Structure 1
């Protein structure tokens, strides 16, 4: 028997067999197939130049420096040892793995590895979020391992999050023995079926001989094209089976190889450059797809002087303190970023997917502009918004080509956007990011500004989901890619703390701060134990308002301030802070402090940063604050809210 591949756009092996039920092929998110329906819907042809991609970096490394196995050539070993060595051959040095009955063999094999460190999470969700934090902050694939059944299903939120935010994660799960699959055995879950639509690809390994190929394919798929999660499900008896591995097995993904994009035609790039030189009010709309193209993007902006509006996922691709930065656009973006898009005559949408939190009402989004959309994923072309020029390409290569044309022809001297930039600077002066100040109480926005100042904008920042997430996006001035880690598309509370763990492991010596809210923080508070045991220098800036702040904001704006289970404290003791987050930290041996007065905040944050190792700072903030600006869901720029709290006047 061979490894079962669960998605239909490409096959892993001619001898593959399937134990899965039949489900419709998923097209919209796949990087492998352009929907014929979408293709026909475009009045302008989509250019998607294709070529055989370069060999994976790990393969190149193997060719340059032969891998030294701890086993003798031809020596039989368990499938679990083959799996662990396959990870070693991919350059993996860290995994986030929680053991159980169906994955014990893998953990035993990990103890025999001299090069792989296991960071033991206290919950599988913490493990997969940590793997995401590792991948997001480093650009290298993150690896998590869980047992079968509930262990595997606890990975689901993280896999869905990685899928939506294009994060390369390889998840390995134990499974019941092959003969027991389909019998409702103890801790059996068909995790391949469960994760079919929230992974880029997944495998059920039914033959120990397939392990070397499957692992190579998994890492290749996870990191090539549009990155994403891949799951490998390995039955326990396959882990126990003894075999001699064949490391020379080639990757067998013909359908996938031939759909990976490369540089589009020079003629198309020339056409885009013509549009740029003709535009009077161009704007860059930059997303997470630009994180690997930051130098090329910066050079493009230098050559053209085009202002840059960034999505939540694209923060850091272009420095927010740059004079041409409009900061974030969208629902809680700056007024001037949204103004620029609304008034533009050319929208350069690079590495974006026209998410609803950015566009609001689609018909009114950039309605005056010609739209150029460049993205590596053909499924995103025309999915939400029809562009005038659509290009399926590696953005890094596309920008290199555009920059070369601009430089060779000296066209940058012919682009004069002075009047447009002054118009936008006027909007910046009229509508700066601002917030309410209090006499003694601490504004959450102010806390983030102080953190930005004291870290010189250099920290790696993770967040949970809610108001604190939006304030962290607005008031911390990110300088570089992979500095900002957040759950964007899925919006998964509980992400911040474990993501910070992954970032700290991947970036030794870096300042890593989890800016969190009390609602999100407590969802994975158990990972404080991981931080302490691993002695990771994660700093936690907890903005504690005793409420689900973002839900409260929506209650105020749209539900007449009717409170529906959004208070997280103890109703019997409303004057007390509940729960006492300091005691969670104390239980894990982590230094912690609480600050309630504005005058004490700066010294408290400095103390947090100066304390070696982990630290929790519980910052008590008012719950009445709203994240502004705000464009209501499915609204347009004309609906932007810039002041007030929406509460009923009594």
Structure 2
């Protein structure tokens, strides 16, 4: 019988932590670990096309499954490539464990090939936990502490295992000084604030006549309680970008996502409230909160250190969102019939009218808002959604009203392009019997998505439900940056930095054995979604969209920004600038008509 190695002990510890799969890319620094995975056959290895994408897959696994995502890479360049995905986990508060190979201990410090100081490299991104395993006996303890740190801190943890240590005999831990035996177990503490703090919070909320909720991802298991509190207080509900999937968007008091990319209704609710209840959100768009001092605030968060980070809070409530809201609800007065509730519902109704109007606004050739609008009536109730970064996030936040319970994820706080296809693969592997839909721009697709379509083509035949729909909004432009240049810098579009090469995305999908189509007529968008959702294999919808569709912030901020956009467009001589100016003025007029 082959000798049991430290590499085998790594796999055994992953089994103990119920890890179903490890994402990564092989290399000499983890060859022993690869051998152990092969021998065990219990933990699946998922090969990405690039370590950055493997890290995104681990983040996606954690987001969709609720567990810990695990990624592995070799030393040197492989480890460097992991950083973007690990920062995605850090900034969006997601538990990920990275197992990274390293050169043998005997050569460290010699400037050896691919030698990188991995502890120093990862000291910021893995500030919750990073450790190199220098002896076989330390391996179980270090892995256990990494998983516990990742879960407790909702952050990435890094375990570095030199190649020579991986090949050593697996440890039999003796009961003696200097040897620590640990358990691969962790449970979430379900804390509730003390009674005096609950009473103080209730007093603030009961005193308010215009209450708003800001719901973040910390309310992922508390949407019923949040809705009940809002109903009792007659409150309007807004969400952070990460909180969007955790509310019932069919409710008449749900105003949608806040921030620069958010809805006009959310801007009105947050701008008009006199009391704010923040539930599990750390959203950084502070200029879209009420002005400091304009609203009294209560904040619920499991991380007491996050309370008050974005807005001055009068009463902090450190605790689990669901249990805290349950304890708070009996202390709240019934104010559902206050005039504020009617005003909120009117704003929400106006927003729905405005979003439908914008979806049907003529563009050249397709308005990207139309693409997400058409998906509303077709989104599968058991579907899962991945969204990439760029202008596509705006259309997701403003046009798509998710069926209750549908998970939707993106790189929110890091806002890294290229996350959607790796996320989608992780979502599909986690639950292969559910359809997965992706919305991405052409810039993000060119960055990482095209390569990972190869991964999709390799594995889709094993999926219980083969539906994996990729919608590429192809505007041949880095559109979000173009509009940012106009809005924030007063700069005209810069062709060299903004134009993207065109690419036959649907044709490439077919080349890989997938299916797809190119759409350049707005009247054909709905039929394309129908075909994709009925397909017997992954399907890529490439929609040719108009890059001049404005990314106008919600009013009143949008009205202030529109002037600088028009000034910047005045410096552009192209015909497209005239169309962009016309579309921008149309959007401004539509907003004024609905929210004047």
Q: The TM-score by the shorter chain falls in which range?
A: 0.7 to 0.9
Pairing 1:496–2:496 present:
no
Q: Assess if the C-alpha contact under 8 Å between 2:364 and 2:545 holds in 1.
A: no
Aligned: 1:342 with 2:271: yes
1:474 aligns with 2:474: no
When structure 1 is superposed on structure 2, of 474-483 and 176-185 the one drifting more is: 474-483
3-state SS of paired residue (1:189): coil
1:602 aligns with 2:504: no
Tell me by how many angstroms 1:294 deviates. 2.8
1:369, 1:339 → 2: CA distance?
14
1:375 and 2:304 aligned: no
Distance 2:471 2:184 in 1: 47
Tell me the equivalent position of 2:154: 227
C-alpha contact 1:130 1:498 (8 A) present in aligned 2:
yes
1:519 aligns with 2:443: yes
* CA spacing shift, 1:304–1:245, aligned 2, 3 Å: farther
Aligned equivalents of 1:233, 1:401: Cα separation in 2: 43
CA distance in 1, matches of 2:296, 2:43: 50
Q: Which residue of 1 aligns with 2:167?
A: 240
1:425 is aligned to 345
TM-score of the two chains, using structure 2 as the length reference: 0.86
Q: Does 1:619 align with 2:543?
A: yes
CA distance in 2 between counterparts of 1:261 and 1:181 reads: 44
Aligned partners of 2:563 and 2:37: how far apart in 1?
54
- The 8 Å contact of residues 16 and 184 in structure 2, kept in 1 or not, is answered as no
How many angstroms apart in 1 are the aligned matches of 2:562 and 2:237?
22
Q: CA deviation at 1:440?
A: 7.3
Alpha-carbon offset, residue 586 of structure 1: 3.5
State the Cα distance separating 1:332 from its structure 2 match.
1.9
- Contact 2:59–2:96 under 8 Å retained in 1: yes
**Higher relative helix content:** 2
- Deviation at 1:385? 2.9
Which residue pairs with 1:593 in the alignment?
Answer: 517
- Provide the rounded CA distance (Å) in 1 between the counterparts of 2:264 and 2:407: 24
Corresponding position of 1:250: 182
Q: Residue 217 of structure 1 is aligned with which of 138, 145, 167?
A: 145
For 1:183 and 1:260, the matched residues in 2 are separated by 45
Q: Distance in 2 between matches of 1:295 and 1:389?
A: 22
Summarize the Cα distance change of 1:390–1:640 in structure 2 as closer, same or farther, 3 Å threshold. farther
Other-structure match for 1:202: 130
Higher RCO by CA contacts (8 Å cutoff, separation 6 or greater)? 1
Q: How does 1:187-586 map to 2 (within 5 A)?
A: 187-199=114-126, 200-224=128-152, 226-246=153-173, 249-250=181-182, 262-355=191-284, 358-360=285-287, 365=291, 367-403=293-329, 405-406=330-331, 411-412=332-333, 414-431=334-351, 432-433=354-355, 434-435=357-358, 437-438=361-362, 441-456=365-380, 458-480=382-404, 483-524=407-448, 525-535=450-460, 537=466, 538-557=468-487, 558-570=489-501, 578-586=502-510
Q: What is the match of residue 49 of structure 1?
A: none
- Given that 1:318 and 1:479 are in contact with CA atoms closer than 8 Å, whether structure 2 keeps it comes out as no
- Distance, in Å, in 2 between the alignment partners of 1:542 and 1:80 is 41
How far apart are residue 402 of structure 1 and its match? 1.4
1:208-251 deviation per Cα after TM superposition (whole angstroms, max 9, x unaligned): 11222222222222122x41111111111111110234499226
Contact 1:143–1:170, Cα closer than 8 Å, also in 2 = yes
Kept in 2, the 8 Å contact 1:630–1:640? The answer is no
Contact in 1 for aligned 2:267/2:554 (Cα 8 Å)? no
1:110 equivalent in alignment to 2:42: no
CA distance in 2, matches of 1:480, 1:246: 49
On the 8 A contact 1:629/1:643 being kept in 2, the answer is no
Say whether residues 1:175 and 2:96 are aligned partners: no
Q: Deviations over 1:330-367 (max 9, x none)?
A: 11212221221122111001112241xx22277x6354
> Residue 163 of structure 1: SS of its match in structure 2?
helix
**Counterpart Cα distance in 2 of 1:581 and 1:350:** 40
TM-score, normalization: structure 1?
0.80
Give yes or no for contact 2:383–2:406 (8 Å, CA) kept in 1: no
Q: Check the 8 A contact 1:82/1:245 in 2, yes or no.
A: no
Query: Separation in 1 of the partners of 2:508 and 2:61?
Result: 24
Secondary structure, counterpart of 1:112 in structure 2: helix
2:380 and 2:435 in contact (8 A); partners too: no
Alpha-carbon deviation of 1:377?
2.0
Equivalent position of 2:591 in the other structure: none
Q: 1:98 to 1:354 in 2, by over 3 A?
A: closer
The secondary structure found in structure 2 opposite 1:477 is coil
1:587 deviation in Å? Answer: 3.9
Aligned equivalents of 2:3, 2:137: Cα separation in 1? 12
Pair 1:639–1:282, CA change in 2 (3 A): farther
Q: Distance in 2 between matches of 1:625 and 1:643?
A: 16
Question: In the superposition, relative to structure 1, how do residues 533 and 182 fare at CA in structure 2: closer, same or farther (>3 Å)?
Answer: same
Question: 1:629 offset after TM fit, Å?
Answer: 3.3
1:155-204 Cα shifts (integer Å, max 9, x gaps): 10001111000111111111111122222221122222212111232121
What is the DSSP-based 3-state SS (H/G/I as helix, E as strand, rest coil) of the residue aligned with 2:150? helix
Between the two proteins, the alignment pairs up a number of residues equal to 554
Aligned-pair Cα RMSD in Å: 2.8
**Which stretch of the first structure deviates more once superposed, 237-246 or 478-487?**
478-487
Unmatched tracts of structure 1, length 5 or more: 1-70, 571-577
Give me the whole-angstrom Cα distance separating, in 2, the residues matched to 1:173 and 1:480.
Answer: 38
Contact 2:384 2:408 in 1 (8 A): yes
- SS of the residue corresponding to residue 197 of structure 1 reads coil
Shift of 1:430: 4.4
Superimposed CA distance per residue, residues 404-453 of structure 1 (whole angstroms, 9 cap, x where no aligned partner): x34xxxx55x3244300112233334453342622772211111111221
Distance 2:455 2:101 in 1: 22
Deviations 1:78-115 (A, max 9, x none): 01100011000100111112110001111111112232
How much does 1:293 deviate? 2.8
Equivalent residue of 2:248, what SS? coil
